[in-house]
Amino acid sequence: MNPLTAALVQQSNNADVKHNFAKSIKGIKEAAQKGAKLVVLQELHHSLYFCQTEDVSQFDLAETIPGPSTNTLGELAKNLNIVIVASLFEKRAAGLYHNTAVVIDADGSIAGKYRKMHIPDDPGFYEKFYFTPGDMGFEPIQTQVGKLGVLVCWDQWFPEAARLMAMAGAEILIYPTAIGWDPNDDEAEQKRQLDAWVISQRAHAVANGVPVISCNRTGHEADPSEQSKGILFWGNSFMTGSQGEILAHANESEEEILIAELDLTRSEQVRRIWPYLRDRRIDHYADLLKLYRD
């Protein structure tokens, strides 16, 4: 399908998971009305970003895949004839949970899923308490609109993840995300962080010759423990072409449905003039398997 009309739903959340999910569904429907055939939702779009604290009661938010959310999204995808990328807190078994992106194909079936591989553990982002690292590797998911390389948030900082998805045939890199500022950060630091985030993902597009979709949340979410000032999610969701060019860019503080046309055939032309895959020196990359070269 080329060009592919893609959309993402940037939204703010509150403690009412039904309200948040209804907002996501409304955004999906609006995107489809505008012609989108692929719609991406932000990381953990059902709830507040609960990883600001370590609280065992938050495991009650998790659900199975398949489960209630994928059933609802499956019906929606089939009725609208679109592909949906959703981010869920997956309950795999008692005591075993993942941060999982699930891809719903246009016929309503589950095309595949990706379990977040890189799990942060930083002040305000205590994800290792909640999420077991993924065990499915970096495998693109085939859908009716193309082969999708779905990754999640912290994965977006790792060039290895993007490269492995591209090497396996991903036609688009997709990042559901929940990232923001510490409200104590000054304006200069906020700009540095945001610039680094955008640059790193645009670089994945350039280095691999594929479009990128990055869907972040927006709004301030308080720290339930009151030990910090919470997180100010910085929005700025965007889509790029296969040379890293910005095709659409949301603002930092407003809910927004972003639409762009992705030219998937350009990737081959770009790779012909910038043949990074051809010139990779895999015979000298063995040290990449080390954590660090002492």
Question: What is the domain-level CATH number for residue 259?
Answer: 3.60.110.10
What confidence score (pLDDT) does residue 268 get? 96
Q: Are 6 and 40 a contacting pair, CB within 8 Å?
A: yes
> Of 153, 171, 215, 256, which is the active-site residue?
153
35 DSSP 8-state letter: T
What confidence score (pLDDT) does residue 283 get? 96
What confidence score (pLDDT) does residue 3 get? 95
With a CB cutoff of 8 Å and minimum separation 6, the contacts of 266 are: 241, 242
Q: Are 99 and 131 a contacting pair, CB within 8 Å?
A: yes
Q: In angstroms, rounded to a whole number, what is the distance separating the alpha carbons of residues 215 and 247?
A: 14
**Cα 11 from chain centre:** 14
**Cα 42 from chain centre:** 6
CA angle in degrees (0–180, nearest 5) for 254-85-164: 110
CA atoms within 13 A on the CB side of 144: 17
43 among known catalytic residues: yes
Secondary structure (3-state) at 284: helix
**Residue 156 placed within a domain:** yes
63 among known catalytic residues: no
Secondary structure (3-state) at 262: strand
**Residue 257 placed within a domain:** yes
**Residue 66 placed within a domain:** yes
What confidence score (pLDDT) does residue 1 get? 77
> Of 23, 37, 113, 116, which is the active-site residue?
116
Determine the structural domain holding residue 274 and report its residue range: 4-289
**Residue 294 placed within a domain:** no
What confidence score (pLDDT) does residue 52 get? 98
**Residue 166 placed within a domain:** yes
**Residue 240 placed within a domain:** yes
Helix, strand, coil shares of the chain, percent, nearest 5, are 35, 30, 40
Mean pLDDT of successive 10-residue stretches along the chain, which has 294 residues: 95 98 98 98 98 98 98 98 98 97 98 98 96 98 98 98 98 98 96 98 98 98 96 98 98 97 96 96 95 93
**Cα 93 from chain centre:** 24
Overall number of domains in the chain? 1
CA atoms within 13 A on the CB side of 97: 19
133 DSSP 8-state letter: P
User: What is the residue type of 78?
Assistant: K
229 among known catalytic residues: no
Q: In angstroms, rounded to a whole number, what is the distance separating the alpha carbons of residues 24 and 72?
A: 12
> Of 23, 37, 43, 113, which is the active-site residue?
43
Secondary structure (3-state) at 182: coil
Joined together, the tokens standing for residue 118 give: 């890189």
**Residue 83 placed within a domain:** yes
Joined together, the tokens standing for residue 163 give: 């490269």
Of 95, 173, 99, nearest to 133 (Cα)?
99
